[in-house]
Structure 1
């Protein structure tokens, strides 16, 4: 596959000298490669030219909206589902020890970022991001099916927390939808190791017009309730008790999904993080 990446680079950047191509990892939909420690090349498992063009246009729009850096496209190859970006500085937040991070350095920029992104007029983003409306009862049913497959891996004292959640009724559906990152897990927030400041927000593949609570849910799941509250304090839109209920609900469904993924076809670190964060996600 690295040979294919080299061929794409030669086609789109003929004067660019390629010294190294390293595969960084993969997700459900994409493989990611690092080139010369300065470019990131994301290639879809299944090429979708229209989706590729949409993502390029979406990133251009997001760069105008976001107060935090987002990837800059260097080239796109629609037929192979490939997009090359300039590498942003910093490392993913999930690779940092939480005790070494100052929550205030994260919460204020995250609150400002989400205010800007969620503040986009949805109608202006409809051509750039799909509508993502997945009913809460369906999410809860999916979460239970996932959990039954992996519940033996959950420490026995914590199983009642999950069982109680699965018995509870799902929250009411949101009253309004906004443009969202829609996958704002800690692995997609880059941070400078020396200063603890956010240096970028990456991976906009799943961006959608959806419930803003989805973005806060992954902050809650990955970074805890205290950082969630601090982030919400810097968020310019009102957040109701119903919104908070959906944040908790989505976080719990997402944690179960990550646990099942990490224990089956995905990288093990997804499962390890899910188990580490299960107590705060299901008790607060």
Structure 2
């Protein structure tokens, strides 16, 4: 039977299986406790002690992405200042689990859920300098390490808009009328069908579930780099709309560098698209905390 939802797993990794794989391949970790942290679309995540986090692909499509992470993430160490999970343990597939897996340095922090605008303002400069540094990473190195080129065709607004209208129909029962109308009106009035391509190195999946903040609410780390690709900077710049308050956007672009109007339109568009996907899964999982944060991201993105 085929998966009924695009985030459904091809295989699951129980705590027992994770422990078996980690302890057998990395016996130096045998004294450390293993706890399930959660899962996203592509990976199931376990914390090992207080020092490491292991990611196990749960979908076949995620295997090549994880292997790419293992090759490219070490290249970023001297190029970006923001903490990120560095791969240290390279696990191999076994008869019990048909995929490689990776262990990384553990980054302390929480997802940026329910932050105030004042807390979000603490991260304006951090995010601007992080993305400015990331987006000048040499494309030749990225290509040599197998980083794909815009594999999701994000510059095609027209086809993604059609998908979003379908998502909106699926989400209707989970949205208040005001929330539904806000998204519907935005999509109906969006007339740009396509933007001119631009090529920079991208994280590729920046949203609140791939970011960590400290106790003050300031960004303290970026995680889950499996969607790294070469493509339009608007893909990562969606955070300017989904994460930052509207009055912080001009400050961000002064530090990051000014961008053209097409880039801003696409960035806002993706800032609505990604939370809609998160909302679909969270509603299916009955995770009300994530549902409400995804809604808040969309509302923020559509506020000028």
Secondary structure of the 1:92 match is: coil
| Worse-superposed segment, 263-272 or 74-83 | 263-272
CA-based RMSD: 2.3
Measured at CA, do residues 174 and 18 of structure 1 come closer, stay the same or move farther in structure 2, by a change above 3 Å? farther
Measured at CA, do residues 123 and 150 of structure 1 come closer, stay the same or move farther in structure 2, by a change above 3 Å? same
The one of 232, 238, 245 equivalent to 1:224 is: 245
The one of 77, 85, 93 equivalent to 1:71 is: 85
The answer on 1:87 being equivalent to 2:109 is no
State the distance in 2 between where 1:279 and 1:5 align.
Answer: 38
TM-score normalised per structure 2: 0.83
- In structure 2, what is the equivalent of residue 25 of structure 1? 38
State the distance in 2 between where 1:111 and 1:64 align.
Answer: 17
Please give the per-residue CA displacement for 1:158-181, whole angstroms capped at 9, x wherever unaligned: 333222222232353233121111
Please give the per-residue CA displacement for 1:53-112, whole angstroms capped at 9, x wherever unaligned: 321011111223211121121211242331111112332223x63256261x31111111
- In structure 1, what is the equivalent of residue 283 of structure 2? 263
Please give the per-residue CA displacement for 1:218-246, whole angstroms capped at 9, x wherever unaligned: 3421333234333222104x311121111
Unaligned runs of 5+ in 2: 1-13, 94-98
State the distance in 2 between where 1:108 and 1:43 align.
Answer: 33
Secondary structure of the 1:258 match is: helix
| Kept after mapping to 1: 8 A contact 2:197/2:231 | no
Secondary structure of the 1:190 match is: strand
| Worse-superposed segment, 252-261 or 198-207 | 252-261
- In structure 1, what is the equivalent of residue 195 of structure 2? 173
- Please state how far the C-alpha of 1:197 moved relative to its aligned partner: 4.1
The one of 251, 254, 258 equivalent to 2:271 is: 251
State the distance in 2 between where 1:272 and 1:169 align.
Answer: 28
Matches within 5 A, 1:234-245: 234-236=255-257, 238-245=258-265
- In structure 2, what is the equivalent of residue 122 of structure 1? 139
State the distance in 2 between where 1:187 and 1:200 align.
Answer: 11
State the distance in 2 between where 1:265 and 1:244 align.
Answer: 32
Unaligned runs of 5+ in 1: none
Runs of 4 or more consecutive aligned structure 1 residues displaced over 6 Å after TM superposition: none
**Count, aligned residues:** 280
State the distance in 2 between where 1:267 and 1:216 align.
Answer: 26
Measured at CA, do residues 277 and 186 of structure 1 come closer, stay the same or move farther in structure 2, by a change above 3 Å? closer
| Kept after mapping to 2: 8 A contact 1:140/1:170 | no
Please give the per-residue CA displacement for 1:15-52, whole angstroms capped at 9, x wherever unaligned: 33333211111111110011112211110013565443
TM-score normalised per structure 1: 0.88
